[in-house]
Amino acid sequence: MKKSYAGHVDNAINMDFYSSNFSAQLDTLDKSQSYLIYCRSGHRSGQALEIMKGLGFANVADLNGGYSALNFQKANTPVI
């Protein structure tokens, strides 16, 4: 079976960092909630983390190493 890092965590909210309305998409979220953000490698999510903090999100964390660092097979976490 070929190992693939493409996809997303089940029930994750998917937003396009490169979209011209990325900040507007973030503004639809409840800033009082906690968020764990990720991308494939961690680069874009690190940038998104700073944007979110600038928009007033207090409880946001970046998944270290991104999606590709997760081992879904051992954790038995659903991936779609």
Q: How far apart are CA 37 and CA 39, in angstroms?
A: 7
Provide the pLDDT for residue 41: 81
Reference 36, options 52, 56, 19; nearest CA is 52
Summarize pLDDT for 42-60 with one digit per residue, the tens.
889 999 999 999 999 999 9
CB 59 within 8 A of CB 35: yes
7 confidence band (pLDDT: 50, 70, 90):
low
Q: Which of 15-29, 44-58, 59-73 has the lowest mean pLDDT?
A: 59-73
Query: Apex CA 71: angle with CA 65 and CA 76, to 5°?
Result: 140
Question: Who has greater pLDDT, 77 or 1?
Answer: 77
Phi, psi values for residue 45, rounded to 5°: -65, -30
Provide the pLDDT for residue 24: 94
Q: pTM for the whole thing?
A: 0.75
